[in-house]
Amino acid sequence: MIKKDQGVEVYTLGQHICLSAHKARRVIDQIRGRSYTDTLLILKLMPYRACVPILKLVSSAAANARHNMRLKTTDLIISKAEVNRGTIRKKLKPRARGHSYPIKRTTCHITIVLTEIPKEQIWKKKEDYEYIVKAISKDQIWIKNRAMYCKIYRNIKYG
């Protein structure tokens, strides 16, 4: 039996993925800090081409955690996800009259780290969240569309 240490990390590294680093960061920023099941749902529903290699990397990291470390996939969260710029492949496209135009194909390196969080800590976070929601509802604060439109109804005295 494998002994589990606290704070075990499992990582997956994908190198030379034919994708712009900027486009991959747009997707990675959405999944950083989320649970494994939430991440799968997000990546399957997002309409970007960058989701496919990232989904493969996340599922590969979860398979490594399940097989090598004997961790439960329900307890995994994405603790670290980063995208670095890779090499640029340069090609030449032939044009009229013997000219040529350069084509640059960018690549990126994606690193995904999964960590196990026990269920006790997850429940504590949910209780703290419910407490915060109750406190916010007492102050009558409504936040719509990811805090873009905030309406705060308080008795504020302007001196």
Per-residue pLDDT of the chain (159 residues; tens, 9 = 90+): 344 556 688 989 999 999 999 999 999 999 998 889 999 999 999 999 999 999 999 999 999 999 998 898 888 999 999 999 999 999 999 999 999 999 999 999 999 999 988 665 655 444 444 444 444 443 334 333 333 333 333 333 343
pLDDT of residue 65: 93
Structure tokens at 148: 């873009």
Phi, psi of 106 (to 5 degrees): -85, 150
On whether the CB atoms of residues 90 and 103 are closer than 8 A, the answer is yes
Question: Would you state the torsion angle of the CA atoms of residues 25, 30, 31, 35, taken in this order, to the nearest 10 degrees?
Answer: 170
> Residue 16: which of 102, 112, 85 has the closest Cα?
85
Q: Model's pTM, two decimal places?
A: 0.70
